[in-house]
Each structure stands twice: as structure tokens, then as C-alpha cells.
Structure 1
Amino acid sequence: MTDRDETTATTTDRYHYTRVVDIDGRTVRARVDRDRYINRSLAVAEVLNEHLTWTTLAAEAPSTWWHDTPNATSRVAAADPARFLRPVTDPLLRRAATILASPPTTTTISPHLHGAIAALLATSHGYNAEYHIDPDDITWAHTHGGALHIIEHPDGSVVFTKAHRPNCPFITSAGSSDCDEDCYFPHPADHHHDLDD
């Protein structure tokens, strides 16, 4: 864990400390707000996610540290908030490091589904096809059309579809019912922009 930055702030009713660290290449921050009132105080550890927003990893109940820190109106606390709140961030950041060190969950696919993906590639691009999909294409696919649904049928066939909404009868019945024809996703070329006058 490598410290990258820290900031403090004080007002008449509260003082604040933020500590930013690097944990195995991930940016993590611990924030502690010590308010005059315990129910308006907080201590959290957050990780910067791929969307450049903060996701909470851990929190510490104010009842475990609030009584051990000076009142928000204290001149001592106002002069050096980090002195009193940095010790609160230490266990939070250790817990965050433990959470981030956990192996990510992976999804494995069955050999049958793997074969179906190979068949999709072969039938769309040739029996000896190789096809590279860029991250931009993946993002585009996530933001256009419906969600990807994969339906494996008892006869061994597999349906890959982005043409149905999640509550469509075709999806909810795993392909045994027909679509109710209420699945509509605008074509990307039909997107219109409103222009300001």
C-alpha cells in the first residue's frame, strides 16, 4: 500500500480527512467525516472503478471511533484533523486491501457452449475464422440493442440473442414461447439529437 495524497478540511461543526492510496495498482481512498453528531459522521473506504466513480468497499461504524476523537468544535481537532482521523483510516484500508486481494470470480462456460461460440464464429466468418473485437465494439454492443441472452435448448441447439427485453415471453420461457412482439430497440442510425436554438 502506497500513500498518494491526503486532504483535510474543517468547519464549525465538523472536520474531515481523506487519504488516497495505491493498492496493487488500484486507487483507493478512505474518507472520515467527524461531525458534531455521531449520526452524521462516517468512515468509508472506496475504490476507483473503471467508470471513474467511487465504489464503497468497507465502512466503519462511527460508534467504534467517534467517542475517541475530539469534538468537532475543538481547536486541537481543527488545527490537525489528520492527527485524529488518520488512525481511523488504517483498519479501513487494510480491509480494502484484503477485499481487493480476493481472487476475482470467474465465469466458466460449458464445453457445449464453447462449441456453440465456435460455431457462431465459423458460420459468420468461415470455418477457419479469426475475429478481433475491440473494446469500443464491446462498449457499443452494451449500449445498443438489448442485453445478450444465451438459451441452450434440450436438443443441443443454442440461441444467442440481443433482440428481446428481459421480461419477453421468449426469454422468460427459455425459448419455448414466442416473442410478444413488444421488443423494440431503436436502430443506432435512427438516433436523433435535439438541437438548442
Structure 2
Amino acid sequence: MITRDETAEAIGNRYRYTRIIDTAGHVVRVRIERHFYDSYSFAHVEVINDVKSWTLLLDEPTRDWWDASPPPRKDIDAAAVLAPLADRLLRRAAAILAPPTTTTAVSPRVLDAVAALLSTVYGFDGERRVDPDEITWATAHGGGLRVFEHADGAVTFTKAHRDDCPFVTSTGTRACDDECYYVVPTRLDGPLGS
């Protein structure tokens, strides 16, 4: 989070704190005002929208912070009192605005099939480290990896088919049309060919 602007002030019947930051590609503003009465107080986080106006993203109910903050007076350090609440709200905003993490869930059956594949190639206690250059090489040669779980409990791992192959489009229930051709890599193509 990069702070763009920050202001704090104390007036007779209230004190307030505002901070504007950049986070996750968005401009975000937190505004907190502590009045004598909780019904006039607020803690909001807003995000600037495409038409350059502020849109409410989240708020914190006064019941969660008003009683813990001192009553207004002109000599209060508004930043010292309200900045910790602002920090907490901005962390929540950053979590909301963060791009989603993409994870692919792998079923236990597929993991068991990977274990079986490892065992058939390297033995029952097989172990194989795949280095980044090997991953790059494998990605550049042959088709994309596809994993099909079959109704009978079998699992197929394949790189041998093009995207529109009947085997792929039917997730392994129809036969290949025998039009999936890939150039066979030579020994000079990379580490796996060595």
C-alpha cells in the first residue's frame, strides 16, 4: 500500500482522519470521524470508480471502535488515535480488492494416479524432481497436459492430442481421429532430450 495523502484534524465537537492509498491497482480512501455522539461518527473505506467518484467499499460499525476512542477535544492527536483503526480497515480493503488467487483443485483420485505413474516409472518408492527448464521444455513440446477421470476409476494423463480432437472434446470417451501429430523433439531440443 502506497500512501498518497493523509490529513488529520481536531475541532471542538469532533476529530477526523483521512488517508488515501494505492492498493491492488485501486485508489482507496479511509475516512474516520469521531463525534461526541456515536450516531454522528463513522469509519468508511471508499474506492474511486471509473467516473472518478468515491464508492463505499466497507465500513466499521461505531459499536466496534467508538467507546474505545477518547471523546473529542481540540488538543487531541487525531492521527495517533484513529490511524490504527484506519490501518485495520485498509488491510481489509486490500484483501477485498486483491486479485483472486487461482488454484486448481486436484481430486484425490488424480493424486493417486500421479503416485501410480511415479511408481510405474521409478518404482514403488519413486521420486523425481522436475526442474523449471524441464517444465518449460515439456510445455513447449507436444500438446497441453490433460487429465481425464473415467467412470471406472481410471485416470488418463495425455499430451498427445490437439484441442479439437474427439478424444479431448469427449474427455476421453471417444477415440482419437488419428490426426494429432506433433514434431518429435530431437536430442538437441532441451534437457529431457539429452
Q: Provide TM-score, normalisation by structure 2.
A: 0.49
Q: Which one scores higher on RCO, CA 8 angstroms, separation ≥ 6? A: 2
Q: Provide TM-score, normalisation by structure 1.
A: 0.48
